[in-house]
Structure 1
């Protein structure tokens, strides 16, 4: 039973980090109805810029601030030169625009910082910690706590602030929101800036665990089952979906993988997401699409 709880807790902690990646998708989807394919590239660009500046002798906090400023500039430029000209275009057009942005960001990261793998040490001790008889990684606890605080803060921002009200209005109907005085460019710029901040934090946490390399952008693929299960438009759904994916993939790897073979952790979340698509296409907390004719 102790081993079961160790696997479960490890999965839940990993799930919180999945939620952190997924919430970047949710923020942009709520504001513009776009599935932002460039989110993974933002994670990579943020982590690679930070670690490259630190390796060049910059203070870690100064490197963090400079990287965040770069991501905010990218956010403003995206809103001005990508989103604004494509208002009311077909979703596939917007998706292809973010796909192009993804390739540009990855190319820029390689141009500025090179393609070599970087180690990233955040100074967090990774020795196991005993909690109520359960062994837990100290780094996993720190990462999950950081991700959890950020996710809850963004959730409260979306629910209780004036900006959150504007965000919900834009999500419901951008043209109606614009007609009543909501400044769409500013909302989009803030949302992309928040998504950039989330990407930077996620990139640092995942980079410290996996190394800062170009495959880091693929970590967002794990966010897809989280979004499908929780719902593309729900921050709370991203939290619940991340916990479900993290816990079930670890338990399946240990208890089912021992029977059918290793590697189940890589595909089990997508099987779970497919079952949710069949049973509840909008996810646990997502809003079902309504078309008026």
Structure 2
């Protein structure tokens, strides 16, 4: 694709992307190029959450092109998601006034527990609707929704897959791919990560590490609520896609969560 850069630049598409990301090479310089990135990228760069933003240009086509510092590195492995580096970076995201201000300014979506529950019930398969465990858990969640004030909602990444965590060759950790960012209860982000990567018997320790030793019962309860909803949504999605093995695995996990409450590191 012709991005109309100055002479001397070679632009190569990045494999696996949707045609919006490229590597720009000019002599010994390399940059990560992306078309039509959100203005939110600038705030993420200032907070050192993503690699440094170098410049932004408006192309003849009307598209916006951004260039970020190119980072040689690797994605985190699944077993690295329990590390203190991960909890520390996620805590910074959830406590950044700049990120919250910027995302609100550009019309970032505010997502409540009620809206997430509606996503589960909307178009729910009749078999799942009648399933005793799923029905019981869903009704419990509906009857006891988190009461966190919206003023305490923060920026949530929304897709904390281990492949979105980039460790540079200089051992600097970044969190990338912010297309799913929303304003919500940070417990939503936390539960998504923990359900995927943190052993259940390590939840209390991971949460306490995230909270810098100031873990509250309220946060534990909110994480439990969002974790169960996350599993319900996964179960629904797996059923729709015909992934019945994954669906049954999450049903088993949901049953375990329902029978053993998170507390004192022995959740």
Higher helix fraction (1 or 2)? 1
TM-score of the aligned structures, taking structure 2 as reference length: 0.24
Q: Which has the larger radius of gyration?
A: 2
Higher relative contact order (CA 8 A, sep 6+): 1
TM-score of the aligned structures, taking structure 1 as reference length: 0.22
Higher strand fraction (1 or 2)? 2
